[in-house]
Chains A and B, each alone.
Chain A
Amino acid sequence: MEAKVVSFTVNGRGHVVALAPNLTLLRALRDLGYTDIKNGCEKGDCGACAVLLDGKAVNSCLVLAWQAEGAQIVTDAGLGTMDVPHPIQEAFADSGAVQCGYCTPGMIISAKALLDRNLDPTDEEICEAMAGNLCRCTGYTQVVEAVHMAAQKMQEASDDTRR
Chain B
Amino acid sequence: MTHAVKPLPPVELPPLRQIGKPLRRVDAMGKAVGQTVFAGDYTMPNMLHGKVFRSSEPSARIKRLDATKARELPGVVCILTAADLPDAKLTTDMPGQTGQKRRAGTDAPVLASDRVRYVGEPIALVAAETLDIAERALELIDIEYEMLAGVFDPLEAMRPGAPVVHEPDNIVAHWKIRKGDIEAGFARADRIVQNTFRSQFVDHAYLEPESGVAWVDDQSVINIRVSTQVVEHFRSIARAVGVPHNRIRVRGTMAGGRFGGKEDITVEIYLALLAKHTGRPVRLVYTREESIQAHSKRHPVIITHRTGVKEDGRITAAEIEAVADAGAYPYLSTYVALYIAVQGCGPYRVDNVSVDSKAVATNNPFTSAMRGFGAPQACLVYEQHMDEIAKALGMDPFELRRANYIRTGESISTGQVIESAAWLEETATRALAALGEKTPDRGPVKVGQGFASYLKSYGRIMWFHDTSHAWVGVEQDGTVVVRCGVPDLGGGNVNSLCQIAAEVLGVPLQEVTVHSTDSAVTPLAGTTTATRQLYMSGNAVFQAATAVRDVLLDRACKYFEEPPEALDLSESKVFVKNDPSQSLPLSDLVKMCASEGLQLSNLALFAAPFTDPLDPESGQGRIFPDFTFGAHAAEVAVDTETGEITLLKSVACHDVGRAINPASVVGQIVGGSAMGIGQALMEDIRVERGIIRAPSLSEYLIPTSKDLPMTKTIILESGTGLGPFGAKGIGEPALTPAAPAVANAVADAIGARIYDLPLTPEKVLAAVDRVDGES
Report if A and B associate in a common complex.
yes
Which A residues contact B (CB, under 8 angstroms)? 30, 35-36, 38-43, 45-46, 48, 75-77, 79-82, 85-86, 89-90, 92-96, 98-105, 108, 123, 126-128, 130-144
Expressed in whole angstroms, the minimum distance between the Cβ of B183 and any Cβ of chain A is 45
Whether A85 contacts B259 in the complex (CB less than 8 A), given A38-B207, A134-B702, A139-B708, comes out as: no
Assess whether A140 is in contact with B24, with CB atoms less than 8 Å apart.
no
Majority SS at the chain B contact face = loop
Assess whether B41 is in contact with A137, with CB atoms less than 8 Å apart.
no
Which B residues between 244 and 258 are near A, CB-CB below 8 angstroms? 254-257
Q: Of A90, A123, A136, which contacts B206 at CB under 8 A? A: A136
CA distance A36 to B490 in the complex (A): 16
CA distance A69 to B433 in the complex (A): 58
Expressed in whole angstroms, the minimum distance between the Cβ of B203 and any Cβ of chain A is 10
Give 1 or 0 for each of B693-723: 1 = CB within 8 Å of chain A CB: 0001110001111101011000000000000
CA distance A111 to B36 in the complex (A): 20
Whether A93 contacts B674 in the complex (CB less than 8 A), given A45-B696, A102-B208, A136-B206, comes out as: no
Expressed in whole angstroms, the minimum distance between the Cβ of A146 and any Cβ of chain B is 9
Assess whether A40 is in contact with B208, with CB atoms less than 8 Å apart.
yes
Pairs A-B, 4 closest by C-beta atoms: A36-B34, A100-B490, A101-B31, A102-B256
Q: Of A45, A100, A131, A140, which contacts B674 at CB under 8 A? A: A140
Asked whether any CB of chain A lies closer than 8 Å to the CB of B148, the reply is: no
Assess whether B208 is in contact with A127, with CB atoms less than 8 Å apart.
no
Give 1 or 0 for each of B1-43: 1 = CB within 8 Å of chain A CB: 0000000000000000000001011011111111111101100
Enumerate chain A residues within 8 angstroms of B317, measured Cβ to Cβ.
none
Assess whether B28 is in contact with A93, with CB atoms less than 8 Å apart.
yes
Enumerate chain A residues within 8 angstroms of B664, measured Cβ to Cβ.
96
Enumerate chain A residues within 8 angstroms of B621, measured Cβ to Cβ.
none
CA distance A140 to B702 in the complex (A): 12
Enumerate chain A residues within 8 angstroms of B206, measured Cβ to Cβ.
100, 102, 136
Enumerate chain A residues within 8 angstroms of B490, measured Cβ to Cβ.
99-102, 137
Which B residues contact A (CB, under 8 angstroms)? 22, 24-25, 27-38, 40-41, 204-209, 254-257, 259, 285, 287-288, 489-492, 663-664, 666-667, 670-675, 696-698, 702-706, 708, 710-711
Whether A101 contacts B254 in the complex (CB less than 8 A), given A41-B288, A77-B33, A140-B705, comes out as: yes
Assess whether B710 is in contact with A141, with CB atoms less than 8 Å apart.
yes
**Closest A residue by C-beta to B258:** A100
Enumerate chain A residues within 8 angstroms of B673, measured Cβ to Cβ.
139
Enumerate chain B residues within 8 angstroms of A139, measured Cβ to Cβ.
670-675, 703, 708, 711
Assess whether B670 is in contact with A46, with CB atoms less than 8 Å apart.
no
Whether A141 contacts B287 in the complex (CB less than 8 A), given A40-B209, A102-B257, comes out as: no
Residue in A45, A92, A133, A136 with the greatest tally of chain B CB atoms within 10 Å: A136
Q: Of A48, A108, A126, A128, which contacts B32 at CB under 8 A? A: A108
Enumerate chain A residues within 8 angstroms of B40, measured Cβ to Cβ.
39
CA distance A45 to B255 in the complex (A): 20
Expressed in whole angstroms, the minimum distance between the Cβ of A107 and any Cβ of chain B is 9
**Closest B residue by C-beta to A105:** B34
Q: Of A76, A95, A144, which contacts B33 at CB under 8 A? A: A76
Expressed in whole angstroms, the minimum distance between the Cβ of A23 and any Cβ of chain B is 10
Residue in B32, B256, B698 with the greatest tally of chain A CB atoms within 10 Å: B32
**Closest B residue by C-beta to A41:** B288
Assess whether A43 is in contact with B671, with CB atoms less than 8 Å apart.
no
Enumerate chain A residues within 8 angstroms of B285, measured Cβ to Cβ.
39
Assess whether B34 is in contact with A76, with CB atoms less than 8 Å apart.
yes
**Closest B residue by C-beta to A126:** B705
Assess whether A46 is in contact with B697, with CB atoms less than 8 Å apart.
yes
**Closest B residue by C-beta to A129:** B705
Q: Of B32, B663, B698, which contacts A45 at CB under 8 A? A: B698
**Closest A residue by C-beta to B491:** A99
Expressed in whole angstroms, the minimum distance between the Cβ of B589 and any Cβ of chain A is 30
CA distance A92 to B29 in the complex (A): 8
Assess whether A101 is in contact with B288, with CB atoms less than 8 Å apart.
no
Enumerate chain B residues within 8 angstroms of A76, measured Cβ to Cβ.
32-34
Further contacts, 15 of them, CB under 8 A, given A81-B33, A85-B32: A38-B38, A41-B697, A45-B698, A46-B697, A89-B32, A102-B490, A104-B32, A130-B704, A137-B667, A138-B667, A138-B671, A138-B674, A139-B711, A140-B703, A142-B667
CA distance A39 to B24 in the complex (A): 26
Expressed in whole angstroms, the minimum distance between the Cβ of A55 and any Cβ of chain B is 19
**Closest A residue by C-beta to B709:** A141
CA distance A137 to B35 in the complex (A): 19
Whether A100 contacts B24 in the complex (CB less than 8 A), given A76-B34, A142-B667, comes out as: no
Q: Of A43, A79, A131, A138, which contacts B697 at CB under 8 A? A: A43
Expressed in whole angstroms, the minimum distance between the Cβ of B513 and any Cβ of chain A is 13
Assess whether A138 is in contact with B491, with CB atoms less than 8 Å apart.
no
Whether A136 contacts B706 in the complex (CB less than 8 A), given A40-B209, A45-B698, A96-B667, comes out as: no
Enumerate chain A residues within 8 angstroms of B666, measured Cβ to Cβ.
96, 141-142
Residue in A35, A39, A137 with the greatest tally of chain B CB atoms within 10 Å: A137
What would be 23 A-B contacts, judged by CB atoms less than 8 Å apart? A30-B41, A36-B33, A41-B696, A46-B207, A46-B697, A77-B35, A82-B35, A86-B33, A93-B28, A96-B22, A96-B666, A98-B25, A98-B31, A100-B31, A100-B257, A104-B34, A134-B704, A136-B204, A140-B704, A141-B710, A142-B666, A142-B667, A144-B710
Assess whether A135 is in contact with B207, with CB atoms less than 8 Å apart.
yes
Enumerate chain B residues within 8 angstroms of A86, measured Cβ to Cβ.
33
Whether A102 contacts B670 in the complex (CB less than 8 A), given A43-B288, A89-B29, A137-B490, comes out as: no
Enumerate chain A residues within 8 angstroms of B288, measured Cβ to Cβ.
40-43, 45-46
CA distance A45 to B257 in the complex (A): 17
Expressed in whole angstroms, the minimum distance between the Cβ of B452 and any Cβ of chain A is 17
CA distance A42 to B22 in the complex (A): 35
Enumerate chain B residues within 8 angstroms of A80, measured Cβ to Cβ.
33
Assess whether A89 is in contact with B207, with CB atoms less than 8 Å apart.
no
CA distance A123 to B706 in the complex (A): 10
**Closest B residue by C-beta to A77:** B34
Whether A104 contacts B31 in the complex (CB less than 8 A), given A137-B671, A142-B667, comes out as: yes
**Closest A residue by C-beta to B287:** A42
**Closest B residue by C-beta to A34:** B34
**Closest A residue by C-beta to B259:** A136
Residue in B205, B490, B664 with the greatest tally of chain A CB atoms within 10 Å: B490
CA distance A104 to B25 in the complex (A): 14
CA distance A139 to B670 in the complex (A): 5
CA distance A20 to B710 in the complex (A): 45
Enumerate chain A residues within 8 angstroms of B38, measured Cβ to Cβ.
35, 38, 102
Enumerate chain B residues within 8 angstroms of A93, measured Cβ to Cβ.
24-25, 28-29, 31-32
Assess whether B705 is in contact with A48, with CB atoms less than 8 Å apart.
no
Enumerate chain B residues within 8 angstroms of A128, measured Cβ to Cβ.
705-706
CA distance A81 to B35 in the complex (A): 8
Assess whether A99 is in contact with B667, with CB atoms less than 8 Å apart.
yes
Enumerate chain B residues within 8 angstroms of A140, measured Cβ to Cβ.
670, 674, 703-705, 708
